[in-house]
Amino acid sequence: MIASARQLILHPPNLDVLSPGEEARYPVLVQAIQRELKARDAAEKLLLPDLSALANQTIGIFSDYSGEEKTGGYYTYAFLICAWGSLTVFKREMKRVRKEFGLGSKEIEFKDFGMGAIRRALPSYLETLNGYVPGLLFTVVVDKRLKSLFGSCHKSTLMGLMRMLEERGFGKRRPDVAEKVMRVVHTAAFLTPLLGHGGQKIFWMSDHDAIFPIRKCTTGCCGSSTIY
């Protein structure tokens, strides 16, 4: 069992994701992520998954965000990055959990924790995730008083991000949404080369909100809606 577990661990991890000697030219967000990872590694508290283990060819990224409500002082950006091709056992076990607790195809959402079946299934659900998903759950927490992580907190920084995205063909977005796009994309872009390897494919599923809106499909080729 120990030998099998060692196959799933990235050792030694290459934590120099940013170009050595040029870290200052990157946004403070990814600078901080790399600095904290190195600090944990130096303290022997860092354990990262090897997403190429067991001949895995695809990286799965699942991201979700919160903090948009008026209450609370923080935004959170959560990323589950895992070996997509090594989830066979997890899928089998999740079918068992769903059957045992009568969940069927019901989506397991935080807002539905008032449902008895979901509350009863939660321990088994979390144990299955923890035991059968080779990957990393990474959460970034940002104080709401920090208006931008890509320059000064002046409104002009957010306006500049908005114009940059529009000029590069990513659509016209509100200044605050442009900031959120940059936070999410930079974090995912850092984690992918940290844990992935050349030649692997990437599958990314994001929360459906202002940064990844669902629009009606006008061609009729993909059902009622699609993601752009």
3-state secondary structure string across the chain: CHHHHHHCECCCCCCCCCCCCCHHHCCHHHHHHHHHHHHHHHCCCCCCECCCHHHCCEEEEEEEEECCCCCCCEEEEEEEEEEHHHCHHHHHHHHHHHHHCCCCCCCCCHHHCCCHHHHHHHHHHHHHHHHHCCEEEEEEEEECCCCCCCCCCCHHHHHHHHHHHHHCCCCCCCHHHHHHHHHHHHHHHHHHHHHCCCCCEEEEEECCCCCCCEEECCCCCCCCEEEC
Average pLDDT on 138-154 reads: 93
pLDDT of residue 111: 85
Q: Does the residue 114 lie in any domain?
A: no
Q: Does the residue 9 lie in any domain?
A: yes
Q: How far is CA 153 from CA 28, 73, 79, 156, 202, in A?
A: 13, 16, 25, 8, 33
pLDDT of residue 46: 95
pLDDT of residue 215: 55
pTM: 0.87
Q: Does the residue 111 lie in any domain?
A: no
Q: Does the residue 202 lie in any domain?
A: yes
Q: What is the pLDDT of residues 56-84, one digit of tens each?
A: 999 999 999 999 888 889 999 999 999 99
Q: Does the residue 13 lie in any domain?
A: yes
How does the average pLDDT of the chain come out, rounded? 89
Q: Does the residue 195 lie in any domain?
A: yes
pLDDT at position 220 over 50: no
Structural domain harbouring 33 = 2-87+133-227
Average pLDDT on 197-201 reads: 92
Q: Does the residue 12 lie in any domain?
A: yes
Q: What is the pLDDT of residues 169-188, one digit of tens each?
A: 988 899 999 999 999 999 99
Q: Total structural domains in the chain?
A: 1
Q: Does the residue 99 lie in any domain?
A: no
